[in-house]
Amino acid sequence: MSTEPFSAVEVIAIKRDKQVLTEPAINWFVDAYVRGVVAEEQMSAMAMAILLNGMSAPELSAWTQAYIDSGTTMDWSALGGPTADKHSTGGVGDKITLPLVCVAAACGLSVPQLSGRGLGHTGGTLDKLESIPGWRASLTESQMFEVLQTTGAVICAANETLAPADRRIYALRDVTATVESIPLICASIMSKKIAEGTGALVLDVKVGSGAFMKTVEQARELAQTMVATGKNAGVATRALLTAMDVPLGRSAGNALEVAESVEVLAGGGPSDVIELTLQLVQEMFEAAGVTPSKNPADSLTDGSAMDVWRKMISAQGGAVDAQLPSAKYNHIVTATRDGHLSKLDALAVGVASWRLGAGRARKEDAVQHGAGIQWHADLGDAVTAGTALFTLHTDDESRFAGALEVLENGYSIGSKDEIVDRLPLIIEKIK
């Protein structure tokens, strides 16, 4: 005779029939799934019911908390100062985390940043950093604390004990056509960020062809849902909707993006990367309720952000002065005529980079650290026939054809009045 307080079938039926699940029912369902009492097909049915019928704010808070309660949580109070983190929903050329944690730490915040690896056309922060010889992503909580204490920032992989329920449900969503569910996206992101123990959280929700959310309306709904869920859990949370119709910076690919990040930390680099980095840092300080010890922009010119970078990378075993990997082969795409770059599509650039070997199709795939793509003109820039528009990098020459095929439809050269309207870099703030 079962001693379980609920029946899986009955709990699924409640959500199927558009009713509201109670907190005890949610807690039991997620915990029973982790214990193996709720079967894979039953969680699949629940995920579909959530996708079709949504969740109320209290349901979503309870569902997220159940993910958190399935594992351990971190506590950084012993650091004795404010902590803040940033999460991006993923984009093309989005290397913002790398300079951002250094700027924030140089100005007085502690930044415990748990990051992931890339899947599909969006790059993963850990993949980028693993292009640095010797750098290691896996740290224990005590090692994280030590790096935070000595440098002010750490970027590493989430350990297996943080929100393990999410890891299993995430994999299930992929094979049950429920990836798009906003409540399930929210719970997945926010459970790990809340369990991470940060005091404040800023969300960078990307919008456009190269992002998961293609429209401002979709992105706004996700951002509002995540902000409310964070606040309900006691974490000061805010979000920016930012543009991903055009790729960020001038490169996509692991080592290529690290090189661009170092350029930013050295006081140079693309203006959009600098602008978004500084805007997100400002939001992190405001969310944490503290004033920066200096103007964050100054940390990029006085060397203090670069100092944090060097200490942080070295503390995690990275050879900070070592040469980054470069691909064996490159191919240059030149402008066929004079004009202006009237289209530069983030998705096409991202897929081209992925096809060159910078990303993975399955989580167990390896990435080429030197692979990727650089673009030498931004949307609206004047170009001259015969000048380089793109440089493609790969270790496998056979990959060029597939990358060029998708890239061909991702850009065009026209007159100035043919330039496609682009989204503003910062579209909206949600507090």
- 171-186, pLDDT tens digit by residue? 899 889 998 899 999 9
> Residue 16: is its pLDDT beyond 90?
yes
Q: Pick the catalytic residue: 85, 94, 127, 166?
A: 166
Q: Pick the catalytic residue: 86, 87, 95, 311?
A: 87
Q: Pick the catalytic residue: 86, 95, 192, 250?
A: 192
**For position 416, what pLDDT does the model report?**
83
- Per CATH, the number for 8-69 is 1.20.970.10
- Residues 56-86 have pLDDT tens digits of 999 999 999 999 999 999 999 999 999 999 9
Lowest-confidence region among 4-8, 162-166, 173-177, 425-429: 173-177
pTM, 2 dp: 0.95
User: Has 173 been annotated as catalytic?
Assistant: yes
The answer regarding whether domain 77-161+168-315 maps to CATH 3.40.1030.10 reads yes
User: Has 181 been annotated as catalytic?
Assistant: no
Instruction: Please compute the mean of the pLDDT values over residues 219-242 and round it to a whole number.
Output: 97
| CATH 3.90.1170.30 intervals, the chain | 329-418
The number of helices, as runs of H, and strands, as runs of E, in the chain is: 16, 13
> Residue 344: is its pLDDT beyond 60?
yes
| CATH 1.20.970.10 intervals, the chain | 8-69
Q: Pick the catalytic residue: 188, 191, 209, 353?
A: 188
Instruction: Please compute the mean of the pLDDT values over residues 271-291 and round it to a whole number.
Output: 98
**For position 178, what pLDDT does the model report?**
93
Q: How far is residue 302's CA from residue 304's CA, in Å, rounded to a whole number?
A: 6
Lowest-confidence region among 153-162, 251-260, 269-278, 305-314: 153-162
**For position 2, what pLDDT does the model report?**
65
Instruction: Please compute the mean of the pLDDT values over residues 93-118 and round it to a whole number.
Output: 95
Comparing C-alpha atoms, which of 67, 62, 58, 292 is closest to residue 193?
67
Q: How far is residue 180's CA from residue 236's CA, in Å, rounded to a whole number?
A: 25
| CATH 3.40.1030.10 intervals, the chain | 77-161+168-315
- Per CATH, the number for 329-418 is 3.90.1170.30
User: Has 188 been annotated as catalytic?
Assistant: yes
Q: Is the dihedral of CA 261, 264, 270, 274 positive or negative?
A: positive
**Burial grade of 404 (CB within 10 A; 0-12, 13-18, 19 or more):** middle
Instruction: Please compute the mean of the pLDDT values over residues 241-253 and round it to a whole number.
Output: 97
Q: Pick the catalytic residue: 173, 220, 250, 311?
A: 173
Instruction: Please compute the mean of the pLDDT values over residues 192-200 and round it to a whole number.
Output: 95
User: Has 166 been annotated as catalytic?
Assistant: yes
